[in-house]
Amino acid sequence: MSIIGVGIDVAEIDRFRAALERTPNLAARLFVAGELTLPGGERRGIASLAARFAAKEALAKALGAPAGLLWTDAEVYVEASGQPRLRVKGTVAARAAELGVRSWHVSLSHDAGVASAVVIAEG
């Protein structure tokens, strides 16, 4: 296996919150339903959403930031172990296949008002 791409991104949590409040449909354009809620159905916290958004930005960078990727074609989820993972479909899966991506590595963090993510595409 070899590294095909690496992406990193940060998001200011308060700025991200303001964007979601200012644009009511933004969350639906950025996230799939499973990303917006916790397993029990409770709404996910803003820091967690900002980290997921940063992961999607990092994913796009790892793929060379091509035009036409849909935010909802990438889903950040967490395994029972607590490890974050990526699930891709549609435009994101097509670009990943074009580049030969076979697996993803993702790391999320948020602290001191900033959310961050790193994504590695491996092929």
DSSP characters over 65-90: --TT--GGGEEEEE-TTS-EEEEE-H
57 annotated to a ligand binding site: yes
Paired residues of 6 in beta bridges? 120
Angle value at C-alpha 66, between 6 and 96, nearest 5 degrees = 60
| Annotated binding residue 98 | no
Burial class for 35, CB neighbours closer than 10 Å (0-12, 13-18, 19+)? buried
33: which 2 tokens?
Answer: 């339903």
* Binding site listing for Mg(2+): 9, 57
* Binding site listing: 9, 57
